[in-house]
Structure 1
Amino acid sequence: MNGTNETPETEEYRPGYDSDDGYRRYDPEIDRTISLRPATLERDAARLHAWLGSDHVKPYWQLDLPPTEFRERLAEKLSDDHLTPYVGCLDHVPMSYWECYRAADDDVANHYDADPADRGVHLLVGPEEYLGHGYARPLLRAVVAMQFERSNAERVIAEPDARNDRAIRVFERCGFESEGEFRFEEAGKDAVLLVCERERFEAEVLEGDGADGPARPTEVRR
C-alpha cells in the first residue's frame, strides 16, 4: 500500500500465535481497533520501501533508497536486538511503521542521562490518505501503553527531527514533555528530546482520555 487508490491490504487474524508478538486495543476516540505486529522482511519490505519513499516521510527518515539497499537496511534493523520494528494497523489495514527500542542501548543515550529501563519510539504514518484525520495520537497512545505494559520502564523517550512540528505536537498531546533541542550527530539531524513519564501518561493520557484501559494481545498471523 503506497498512498494510491489501490484496495487496502488487510491483515488476517487467527488464534494460536505467540501472544508476546502482537498487540491490539480498541480506541473509542476514533472508533477503530489499533493493532501492531512485528515487521518481517518478506512481508513488509515492499510496503515499507514505498512508505519511506513518500514525500512526507523522506525529509525525516532519509531512507529513500534503491530496493536492494533498502532491504539490506531493513534486515539490519530486524536483526538489531535493541530495536523492534512494528507495522501498525487500523481495523486490520497496515498504515504505519514503528520502531520501539531500548534507549540506553541507542545512540540517543549519548545525549541525555538514560536509565537502563528507558524505552524509545520512532514513528511514521505511511499512506497519505491517513494523514490529517487525527489517527496519529491514538496510535502513539497505544504504542506507549504497550511499552509501559511490557516493561518496567518509567519513561518512554523520543527524538524527532526538530523541523517536524507535526510529530512534536502529537508527542506533546500524548504526555511527552520537551527537554530541549540537541545536535544528534549520529542520526544526522537536529532533534528534540521528548520524555513521557509513566505516572503522567497513565493518569492524564490513558485515564484522562477515557481510553479503554490495558490492551489485550490478539491473534496476529506473522
Structure 2
Amino acid sequence: MTGSNAGAAAAATRTNGGREYAYRARNERIDRTVAFAEVDPTLDFDRLRAWFGSDHVKPYWQLDLPEAAFRAKLDSKLGDDHLTPYVGLLDHTPMSYWETYRAADDAVGERYDAEPEDRGVHLLIGPPEYLGHGYAVPLLRAITAFQFRATDAGRVVSEPDVRNEIAIRVFERCGYEPQGRIDLPDKEALLMHCERERFFDAVGEPADVDVDVNGGSDADTAADAESEVGR
C-alpha cells in the first residue's frame, strides 16, 4: 500500500445503519461524503434488482432478470473470489454499484498482457435522479484511488462498452487512457488503462478530501460536470 493516506488503513471501522464501510471520504468540492461498502444481499437485493432494471442501465449490463434468476446471478458474483461487489453511497445513501476485480483472472486479462497485480473496475449509477449532477467523476476517482491504496496494483483497467461514450469520457477524466477495442463475451469494449504514477501525478488527490480507509483502501477526488453510468 502506498500514498499519503496509506496509514488510514488502520483506522477504526466506520458504520452507518449497520453497514461497514471499506472506504469513506468527505469531499468538500462536491460537498458530499463518498463511501463504498461491500454488497450485503439482505440490505441490497431489492435496490440492486431495481437499478439493473432501469432503462439507462439495461442496454449495458443486460441483467434485467426475474427475481430468482437475478438472485442466482448476484449470489454468483458474491461467491466469485476474483471479484468484489460494492455499493457506492453519497451522504450515506446507496446510489451506485461497483465491481472491483483481479484483471488477470478475468476475461479482459486474456486481451492484453495483464500483470498479476492489475485491478479492474465496473460501475453503474442506479437511481436516475443522481445522473447529470457531476457525481460520476469523483466517485470513479475515489474507487480508483481505493484500488491503488488497497493493493499493489500498478494499473487499474476498465472496459466500457464502445457505445457508452459518456462512460468513456468519465474514465478519461479520471486518468484512464484508451488502448484499443477488444471483444468480450458480452460486448465490444474499449480497453482503458490507468497507471498508478499517472493517476497520482495527473489526477491526484485534493487537499480538501478527508479520507478514512478500512481494510485497505483509498482516497479520492472531485470534479464538476458529466452525467453518467457505465460499464
TM-score (norm 2): 0.83
Secondary structure at 1:216 match in 2: strand
Cα contact 1:40–1:78 (8 A) shared by 2: no
- Hey, what does 2:73 align to over in structure 1? 73
Which aligned pairs between 1:161-176 and structure 2 lie closer than 5 A?
A: 161-176=161-176
* CA 36–114 in structure 1, closer or farther in 2 if over 3 Å, else same: same
- Hey, what does 1:201 align to over in structure 2? 199
- Hey, what does 1:12 align to over in structure 2? 16
| Cα offset, 1:12, TM superposition | 2.5
- Hey, what does 1:97 align to over in structure 2? 97
| Cα offset, 1:26, TM superposition | 1.5
- 2 CA distance for matches of 1:152 and 1:13? 31
Secondary structure at 2:213 match in 1: coil
- Hey, what does 2:63 align to over in structure 1? 63
- Hey, what does 1:133 align to over in structure 2? 133
| Cα offset, 1:14, TM superposition | 6.5
- Hey, what does 1:153 align to over in structure 2? 153
- Hey, what does 2:189 align to over in structure 1? 191
Amino acid at match of 1:71: R
Query: Could you tell which deviates more after superposition, 26-35 or 58-67?
Result: 26-35
Any idea what the Cα deviations from partners look like across 1:154-177, whole Å, max 9, x if unmatched? 100000100001111000000000
Secondary structure at 2:190 match in 1: strand
| Cα offset, 1:182, TM superposition | 1.4
Secondary structure at 1:143 match in 2: helix
- Hey, what does 1:27 align to over in structure 2? 27
Return 5+ residue gaps in structure 1 as ranges: 1-10
- 2 CA distance for matches of 1:66 and 1:174? 35
Amino acid at match of 1:135: Y
- 2 CA distance for matches of 1:192 and 1:111? 11
State the 4+ residue runs in structure 1 displaced beyond 2 angstroms. 11-15, 209-213
| Cα offset, 1:27, TM superposition | 1.7
- Hey, what does 2:212 align to over in structure 1? 216
Cα contact 1:24–1:36 (8 A) shared by 2: yes
Amino acid at match of 2:160: P
Return 5+ residue gaps in structure 2 as ranges: 1-14, 215-231
Secondary structure at 2:81 match in 1: coil
| Cα offset, 1:25, TM superposition | 1.1
Amino acid at match of 1:202: F
- 2 CA distance for matches of 1:35 and 1:29? 15
Cα contact 1:29–1:138 (8 A) shared by 2: no
Cα contact 1:27–1:33 (8 A) shared by 2: yes
Cα contact 1:177–1:194 (8 A) shared by 2: yes
* CA 205–109 in structure 1, closer or farther in 2 if over 3 Å, else same: same
Any idea what the Cα deviations from partners look like across 1:27-68, whole Å, max 9, x if unmatched? 222111100100022111111000000000000001010011
| Cα offset, 1:212, TM superposition | 2.5
- Would you say 1:41 and 2:38 are equivalent positions? no
Secondary structure at 1:35 match in 2: strand
| Cα offset, 1:22, TM superposition | 1.6
| Alignment root-mean-square deviation, CA | 1.9
- 1 CA distance for matches of 2:208 and 2:70? 37
The share of aligned pairs that are identical, in percent, is 57
Amino acid at match of 1:212: V
- 1 CA distance for matches of 2:54 and 2:17? 28
Secondary structure at 1:37 match in 2: strand
- Hey, what does 1:7 align to over in structure 2? none
